[in-house]
Amino acid sequence: MKTLFATAALAASLMAGAASAAELLTNGDFEAGNTGFASGYSYRPLDGTQVNLYPEGTYDVSANPNADHNLFSAFGDHTTGRGLMMVVNGAQQPGTVVWSESNLIGAANTQFTFDFWLASVYPASPADLQLLINGAAVQGATFQAEGGQQITGVWQHFSYTGVTDVGGLQNIALTNLNTEPSGNDFALDDMHLAGVAGGVPEPATWALMLMGFGGLGAMLRANRRRLAVATA
């Protein structure tokens, strides 16, 4: 009986594992540097001058916004306070993709959750980010950073949950609705995309499940027969 229960428990565990959420982004915490994602902004790495992000529409992957721009606040990334983040000087051109990744979920009717952390690096004119799924703006999915002198460097968490359509999730992106040249500067970190990975169990999992629950069924039928004999 213990064996039957163990088999059923193992099958249930495998089923739960198969349906659990898996991380789908390549470099959501930016710890690998300027790789694994795309951007319509120009990449401007540190040059030691604190002015590499002076032009609007530029970004860097760095550990301290103040190292990229002398007017940006100095603070650490969201992950550990010592790692990397994407530091952005907001573009004046509307519709420019700040960040995106592609070829994420091929199947339809798959629930997914996208979340990330956002912080203003300058107090004026905070960014207002728009979520795009497969190139289309998602209605109601806008995320505005907080502004003000006491708010810079404070990480805010944003999240969106959806279900893939017939084409799956081919691309997920963020654009900035704010096009002000003054201010409009921010940082992104710890971006996550989780979907149901392996929602249909593998054949071996099905076999274990059927064996376990089939054995339990046989045991229960035998118990009922013994009870009937005992009470006859």
Mind listing the domains of the chain with CATH numbers? 1-19+199-232 (no CATH), 22-196 (2.60.120.260)
Q: What is the CA radius of gyration of the chain?
A: 25
- Long-range CB contacts (< 8 A, 24+ apart) of 45-52? none
Instruction: Encode the chain (232 residues) as per-residue pLDDT tens digits.
Output: 444 334 444 344 434 444 456 899 999 999 999 999 999 999 999 999 999 999 999 999 999 999 999 999 999 999 999 999 999 999 999 999 999 999 999 999 999 999 999 999 999 999 999 999 999 999 999 999 998 878 999 999 999 999 999 999 999 999 999 999 999 999 999 999 999 644 444 344 334 344 444 554 554 455 555 544 445 5
**Helices 2-18 & 203-231, crossing angle to 10 degrees?**
150
